[in-house]
Amino acid sequence: MLRKTLLWIFSILFIFVVIFGSFVCVQYNKLKPHYSGSVKLPGISDTTFIAWDSLGVIHIKGNTTDDVVFASGFASAKERLWQMELTRRVARGQLSEIFGIRTLEIDKMFLTLGIDTFTQVLYRQISPESRRWLQQYAAGVNAYLKTIGDELPIEFILMKFKPREWTPQDCLLQNRLMAWFLNFNWKADLLYWQLLDKLPRNKFNEIWPKWGRYPDVLSIEKLNGSLSRLLQIDREARDIVGLTYANWGSNNWVIAPARTGKGFALLANDPHLAFQVPTIWIEMHMQSNDLNVAGFAFPGTPGIVIGRNEHIAWGVTNGM
């Protein structure tokens, strides 16, 4: 009798494991990215190719630059949709819509900073060509959203929401948010005020001389409390997007053609941004009849920030 009971128990467990394993396999196959196939999309004027090499670098080739920029938005969304959504919500002050009260103070800070409002103004002021790039990129992101339908990345499924359409202004939000995170001036000012609060004025002036043309605007008491809290909220926002503090500064190193083996100049650029997963950058090669550029972009923003073409290479340094 005992043997028969154990057999039934093991049979039921085996059936459960098979059913559960099959369910996991089906869900995994639905969620894992697919890197082969073709799709017809409105907004593309001609055949455009997207390929991923063995290192995960995206290679895009098409006849027109419009198509290539469109495809870069499509490919970026395929690779980094959750990262793009998260940074957009930080900049817009909309984290609490999905995370609740725990991110309310972060939302208040970014709504006060007005990054979203400034972005709307900036979008109206940029050149028509730049607006075209933003529009094509956003159209590519939205084409990807329509292609996948409800088969969203696992983060969206767990948080039980669908991302809104991507707008050209959202592309600018990514850059404005990065500018804020790379702005260390206000943190340095807080340090000076804290030193002044602890040290006699004559000792402080030995460390940091007072420039006569620039009088104090606000008192220590007013600034200490408000900026100390701002520092804490800024740290919490960085934790959300995974952008921790790195070493301050950045650098470019250039070797002249006369000093290289093949007679070409070499550029080495280090923007001193912290390591994170997923990384801040997305690497891609964009090629059309009038464009051939490779390097690193920000997910959510068109174009190459650090990279090269057939003639020049460029990097980014920051000392804000």
Q: Model-level pTM greater than 0.85?
A: no
* pLDDT score for 317: 85
* pLDDT score for 75: 96
User: CA 155, CA 85: separation in Å to the nearest integer?
Assistant: 10
215 vs 99, residue with greater confidence: 99
Closest CA to 62 of 80, 77, 74, 79: 74
Residue 176 has pLDDT above 80, yes or no: yes
Q: Which amino acid is at 205?
A: N
Taking each helix axis as running N to C, give the angle between helix 168-181 and helix 128-148, from 0 to 180 degrees, rounded to the nearest 10. Answer: 100
Number of other residues whose CB lies within 10 A of the CB of residue 182: 18
Predicted confidence (pLDDT) per residue in 99-110, tens digit = 999 888 889 888
User: CA 304, CA 300: separation in Å to the nearest integer?
Assistant: 12
Confidence of residue 175 (pLDDT cuts 50, 70, 90): confident
Estimate to the nearest angstrom the gap between the alpha carbon of 308 and the chain centroid.
Answer: 21
212 vs 177, residue with greater confidence: 177
Confidence of residue 21 (pLDDT cuts 50, 70, 90): confident
Residue 145 has pLDDT above 90, yes or no: yes
Q: Which domains are seen in the chain, by residue range?
A: 49-182+247-314 (1.10.439.10)
**Mean pLDDT to the nearest integer, 297-314:** 94
Q: Which amino acid is at 297?
A: A
8 A C-beta contact, residue 163 and residue 156: yes
SS3 at position 282: strand
Closest CA to 286 of 309, 266, 269: 309
